[in-house]
Amino acid sequence: MGRGTIFFMKKLTVLFYLCSGKEKGNYYRISWPTAEKENREAGGEAEEQQQGSVNALFLLASCQMLHSPRFLLILPGFPGLLRCAAMSTITGTFQLQQPLNYREGARIEPVDGDHSEETYEPATGRVIGKFLFSGEKEVDLAVQNAQAAFKIWSQKSGMERSTVLLEAARIIRERREEIATLETINNGKSITEARIDIDTSWQCLQYYAGLAGSLAGQHIQLPGGSFAYTRREPLGVCVGIGAWNYPFQIACWKSAPALACGNAMVFKPSPFTPVSAVMLAEIYHEAGVPKGLFNVVQGGVATGQFLCQHPNVAKVSFTGSVPTGIKIMEMAAKGIKPVTLELGGKSPLIIFSDCVLENAVKGALMANFLTQGEVCCNGTRVFVQSEILNSFTKEVMKQTQNIKIGDPLLEDTRMGALINHSHLEKVLSFVKQAKDQGAVVLCGGEAYVPDDPKLSGGFYMSPCVLGNCNDNMTCVQEEIFGPVMSILPFDTEEEVLERANNTRFGLAGGVFTRDIQRAHRVVAGLQAGMCFINNYNVSPVELPFGGYKMSGFGRENGEAAIEYYSQLKTVCVEMGNVETLF
């Protein structure tokens, strides 16, 4: 086994970083039971017991790492970390331990959890644990608890809320590597991308901490010395329903503006990625939010329905598919609840012949292959002006074939595993259907098996570039949500703009050209909520994000999100006598 460096974190946790050997670059986290922590004050004997536990755990870690680079052990007793119920010395994998719900400032078992679900490590295909779905009673308790916390939080000043959000951002930044590693294990994306996700998460909290203290109304002067003013007030208990492609980031995107405005939130993560939301809840609690201000309920469709239909929920923010978004909108409408819907897309990326070809190729890769193509705003319809079609296609194929696929925890991996087997099969079926309809697979589009036998059960595929496509093909019309790029030739600006807008979606769009006037002209004509000029998939938290048409409405991020997590009250002040018509 290679040499390692040991980092001690918060006195109770050991992070083992392997510095050499074939497993180089992996982190191994070790902690020990609460009982020993509680006995620390008993004297030297307890300290010796602790030291013995550490030594024993390092011995176990050494044995584990001889067999697998995928070792992550976290025993009960350290708050905020994924906990391990069982560890295999053969595989080195871990299993989750209940509970993954969070209420009243602690992890809890759902009171009516009568259905359990397995969650997987996409990179290996192994089950890493089971967790309980929340029923109607648990949802009701979570909402009630959030209501109680809302009464406290909403009375705090903006600066007080800002201080707490800044502290939460600091904790996330401090625990970046830990959260990113767990995100990679549960989601399958590369550790490189996961770190970026965690960075944008703490930046989101930091950004809204900056806005929390500046939320203000407006003064309006009226005739006769009278006046009016507006107050921006919180909504109450908001529901956030997350997606599996950016689990931790989406939880931050929804909760940060909600909490900055003085709201409480009950958050339901995707059942495919249940791990990281409870970590965020613990971080908020550690930062100082009232107990219950950010609760987590695990579950599927039924749990989401209970949340959306709850009479004491003031607003729902959902990220996911169009069909589910429609159902959520219908349920919320019965209670006249505002909703924010961030749904699917089939976005166009338009590349003109006068572009900087190298940048256009990079942009196309960024627009299609981030997070294994599992990104709602991806520019999967790549329109290329005919004059450069061949040169562009050749270079895209070359760079796509050089993308390293494999263990997402390795530093040089650039494409990890898709979320699960059924989704992998669905994406591959789109490729087959495209071929049947006349498209040509220029590269990729097949199930991929990494060389490492430990990854043989993972959900991998090679990134795919399709040529000879037309606008009527299913691969061009429907969201695939996988690493599949469709290249379509065009001749004129007017033609491509009409074709680009010929979709029921309107989430994003992009253009590459040296002609800045044309660039602005084209994006003005695109029916999309997020547009890029000479870049793609760049979305810092300062920028509002959301779509047109069937891609949803409302906005996440930026100052615009404040409007969707608050309500405006107008106060009219009479400074003279009341005039009456009676």
Enzyme catalytic residues: 342
Distance (Å, whole) CA 204 – CA 193: 16
d(CA 263, CA 564): 11
Q: In a 3-state reduction of DSSP, which class is residue 512? A: strand
Sign of CA dihedral 162, 164, 166, 172: negative
Within a 10 A sphere around the Cβ of 190, how many other Cβ atoms?
28
Alpha carbons within 13 angstroms on the beta-carbon side of residue 138 total: 29
Distance, CA of 27 to CA of 177 (rounded, Å): 9
Query: What tokens appear for 281 in the block?
Result: 């809840």
| DSSP structure class, residue 577 | P
Helix axes 191-212, 176-187, angle to 10 degrees: 120
CB 141 within 8 A of CB 312: no
Contact 185, 279 (CB under 8 A): no
Here the tokens at position 84 are 């391990």
Beta bridge partners of 545: 556
3-state secondary structure 273-303: CCHHHHHHHHHHHHHCCCCCCEEECCCCHHH
Q: What is the distance between the alpha carbons of residues 289 and 284, in angstroms, rounded to a whole number?
A: 6
The residue written with tokens 């000879």 in the block is 468
Instruction: Report the alpha-carbon distance of residue 215 to residue 231 in Å, rounded.
Output: 9
Helices (H), 402-542: 421-436, 474-477, 493-500, 516-525
What are the φ/ψ torsions at residue 272 (nearest 5 degrees)?
Answer: -80, -25
Comparing CA positions, the residue from 319, 321, 313, 309 lying closest to residue 295 is: 313
Under a CB-based contact definition with an 8 Å cutoff, are residues 481 and 374 in contact?
yes
Cα first-last separation, the chain? 93
Instruction: Provide the residue type at 235 as one letter.
Output: L
CB 179 within 8 A of CB 279: yes
What Cα–Cα distance (Å) separates residue 405 from each residue in 22, 371, 450, 530? 17, 12, 7, 29
DSSP secondary structure letter of residue 405: B
Residue 108 Cα distances to 102, 296, 542, angstroms: 6, 10, 35
294 and 104 Cβ atoms separated by less than 8 Å: no
Alpha helix segments (H runs only) across 294-436: 301-309, 322-334, 357-369, 389-401, 421-436
Strand, coil or helix: what is 262? coil
